[in-house]
């Protein structure tokens, strides 16, 4: 099955699964129950179910989505596991590594984002703990924020996810021999579980990241199959056997570490839904689940705008009788689950993937699924044919098909397939009825207001006790709390799009003062423009430090609307002045440059990649 990447150069996806129907519903708020107790080392569950979410490393840039958002939205109290994505594999050493280098799709060599991982400093306002990072602390970034989140919500297990769409290229090579498998596994354990991250830009060092990660998530897309990224190394003869041996090596070394620490370390997997990929990698071999604690089956990207012949459901629970595609293209969540359970795999070890985003087409003439015509990929904020749930949830009119268990929206031209509260309720009922272990989200920033996650949580908490035995913590959500962040109209919720307070409004931040000390991440206003400090500074005037300097303009932080191309001061207006792109300059997510008369915004850290040449999956996006 064709596997399509999503969300910049990092989206993990499988591109072929089934039909369904769709609709609208109001958001369910979680029911009250006692606070989650401390959970011993090992798995985690709420009422016997897992609620797993992927946290995208790159979301701290353009999406402005940080670990604290999980706290303020209420999601942290309802999630059981967070998969931090993604870790890369070195093409020379076959080891996990961390670096600062932008990736291009198909060319992940040497790529990483240590800055987002543990170099980005946080202010008191955007830190989980409410305390600002200090200039001399060895660990900052999302790693430190996850550490703070775990201190506040001790039931959460944090996993490092290895691979994904872009970083699966060298899995086959690393799994090829006993020596290479041992090298990969020991390096990943050393970096992420023992916390021996390299010193980069003054952050890191031996043991500095210890205690953050509770296990490892394997996201190899896909062993033995050509359906991964086109440049992936694939051995169709040996990958299947080597994959099993790799998992066996992970479990052996994790168990060895357990014998030293007394803590059980988790091993999970991102499981394909396409039978071709399942067979190629042997994913439904019951022996694999002697090594996996659990796995999550991809339940999204079953269809998408990589195929412009017709619209269709990307996350349908069941087959759609109206699906006009050939039989080998008719995928569904239910079909995928049965490919595993029919082999004798314990349903409690399986979760189903849920979409916090939509797949869409435009130039569509009808609201009926499977429509053909002169279709084009719908306009997305970061990627054509893809957008976050919270951005599309009110587009046009919503529809739901209970036969297919699928939801969609249509505004007269654009057609979005997505998960909404109604489809999530149906999938929650399915999880309970089939004795499954829970659900998994790709990815958390798409449900930034915690509407979908709380819907799943409410259904599973109200269900009979689930099959996952992990000290069975209960749901800690308290709806009597007047600041309950699950209230979508709460004007104090900083992630609420209805909130009249604009975080980029110059009135939100203090005026720059020459005598004040600022740390990385601090924002100030100077001459009506919002600037953010890249590192510690004092006495350097914003607007005078140049492209290499400490102060960077915050996109949308001036007095104009950055999202309106008709606004003469917005970045979509060619008349707006931005610095010319330079091949030697370093740019981070949100930076805007001009090249050949066009304004571009960087989606993540980059250097030397020419705007206009990186394609729809690349770092530069026209604004």
> Which H or E element spans position 566?
none
User: Using the 8-state DSSP alphabet, how is residue 118 labeled?
Assistant: I
Alpha carbons within 13 A on the beta-carbon side of 43: 24
- Choosing from 109, 131, 221, 451, the catalytic residue is 221
Ordered alpha helix ranges (H), 345-395: 389-392
Cα separation of the two ends of the chain: 33
Cis bond before residue 222 (omega within 30° of 0): yes
Contacts of 544 by beta carbon, 8 Å cutoff, 6+ apart: none
CA-to-CA distance for 17 and 2, rounded, in angstroms? 10
CA-to-CA distance for 127 and 130, rounded, in angstroms? 5
User: Using the 8-state DSSP alphabet, how is residue 367 labeled?
Assistant: S
**Active site annotation includes 249:** no
- The SS3 assignment for 57 reads helix
DSSP for 490-551, written as a single string: -TT-TT-TT-S--TT-GGGSPBP-TTS-B-TT-EEEETTEEEEESS-BSSPPTTSS-TTSSE
CA-to-CA distance for 289 and 340, rounded, in angstroms? 11
> Which H or E element spans position 206?
none
β-sheet bridge partners, residue 621: 601
Q: How many CB atoms lie within 10 A of CB 299?
A: 31
Identify which of 330, 326, 299, 329 has the alpha carbon closest to the alpha carbon of residue 315. 299
Identify which of 81, 85, 122, 120 has the alpha carbon closest to the alpha carbon of residue 7. 85
Contacts of 614 by beta carbon, 8 Å cutoff, 6+ apart: 104, 620
Do 94 and 184 meet the contact criterion of CB atoms below 8 Å apart?
yes
- The SS3 assignment for 612 reads coil
Question: Which residues are tagged catalytic?
Answer: 221
């Amino acid at each position: 099955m064709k596997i399509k990447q999503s969300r910049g150069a990092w989206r993990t996806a499988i591109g072929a699964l089934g039909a369904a129907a769709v609709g609208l519903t109001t958001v369910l708020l979680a029911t009250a129950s006692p606070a989650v107790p401390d959970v011993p080392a090992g798995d985690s569950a709420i009422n016997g179910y897992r609620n797993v979410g992927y946290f995208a490393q790159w979301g701290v840039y353009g999406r402005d989505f940080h670990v604290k958002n999980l706290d303020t939205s209420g999601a942290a109290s309802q999630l059981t596991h967070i998969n931090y994505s993604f870790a890369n594999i070195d093409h020379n050493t076959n080891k996990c590594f961390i670096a600062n280098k932008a990736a291009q799709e198909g060319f992940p060599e040497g790529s990483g984002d240590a800055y987002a991982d543990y170099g980005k400093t946080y202010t008191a306002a955007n830190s989980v703990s409410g305390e600002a990072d200090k200039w001399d602390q060895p660990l900052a970034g999302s790693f430190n924020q996850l550490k703070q989140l775990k201190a506040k919500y001790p039931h959460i297990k944090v996993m490092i996810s290895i691979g994904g769409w872009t970083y699966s290229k060298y899995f086959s090579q690393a799994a090829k021999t006993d020596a290479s498998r041992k090298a990969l596994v020991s390096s990943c354990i050393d970096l992420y579980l023992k916390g021996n991250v390299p010193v980069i830009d003054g952050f890191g060092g031996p043991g500095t990241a210890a205690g953050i990660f509770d296990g490892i998530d394997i996201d190899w897309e896909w062993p033995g199959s050509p359906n991964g990224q086109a440049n992936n190394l694939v051995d169709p003869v040996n990958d299947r056997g080597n994959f099993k041996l790799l998992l066996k090596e992970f479990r052996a070394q994790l168990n060895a570490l357990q014998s030293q620490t007394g803590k059980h370390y988790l091993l999970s997997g991102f499981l394909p839904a396409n039978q071709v990929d399942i067979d190629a990698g042997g994913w439904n071999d019951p022996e694999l689940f002697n090594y996996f604690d659990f796995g999550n089956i991809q339940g999204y990207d079953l269809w998408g705008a990589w195929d412009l012949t017709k619209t269709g459901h990307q996350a349908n629970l069941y087959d759609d009788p109206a699906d006009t595609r050939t039989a080998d293209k008719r995928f569904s969540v239910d079909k995928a689950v049965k490919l595993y359970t029919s082999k004798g795999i314990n349903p409690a070890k399986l979760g189903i993937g849920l979409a916090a985003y939509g797949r869409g087409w435009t130039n569509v003439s009808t609201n009926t699924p499977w429509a053909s015509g002169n279709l084009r990929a719908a306009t997305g904020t970061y990627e054509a044919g893809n957008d976050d749930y919270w951005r599309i949830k009110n587009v046009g009119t919503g529809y739901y098909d209970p036969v297919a268990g699928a939801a969609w929206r249509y505004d007269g031209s654009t057609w979005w397939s997505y998960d909404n509260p109604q489809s999530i309720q149906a999938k929650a009922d399915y999880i309970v009825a089939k004795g499954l272990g829970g659900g998994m989200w790709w990815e958390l920033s798409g449900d930034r207001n915690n509407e979908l996650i709380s819907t799943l949580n409410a259904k599973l908490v109200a269900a009979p006790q689930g099959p996952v035995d992990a000290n069975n913590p209960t749901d800690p959500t308290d709806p009597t709390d007047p600041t309950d962040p699950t209230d979508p109209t709460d004007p104090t919720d900083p992630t609420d799009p209805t909130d009249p307070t604009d975080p980029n409004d110059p009135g939100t931040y203090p005026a720059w003062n020459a005598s004040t000390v600022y740390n990385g991440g601090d924002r100030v206003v100077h001459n009506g423009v919002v600037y953010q400090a890249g590192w510690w500074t004092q006495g350097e005037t914003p607007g005078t430090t140049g492209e290499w300097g400490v102060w960077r303009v915050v996109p949308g932080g001036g007095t104009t609307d950055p999202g309106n191309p008709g606004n003469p001061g917005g970045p979509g207006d060619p008349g707006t002045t931005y610095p010319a792109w330079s091949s030697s300059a370093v740019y981070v997510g949100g930076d805007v440059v001009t090249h050949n008369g066009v304004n571009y915004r960087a989606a993540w850290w980059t250097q030397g990649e020419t705007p206009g040449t990186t394609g729809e999956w690349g770092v530069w996006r026209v604004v």
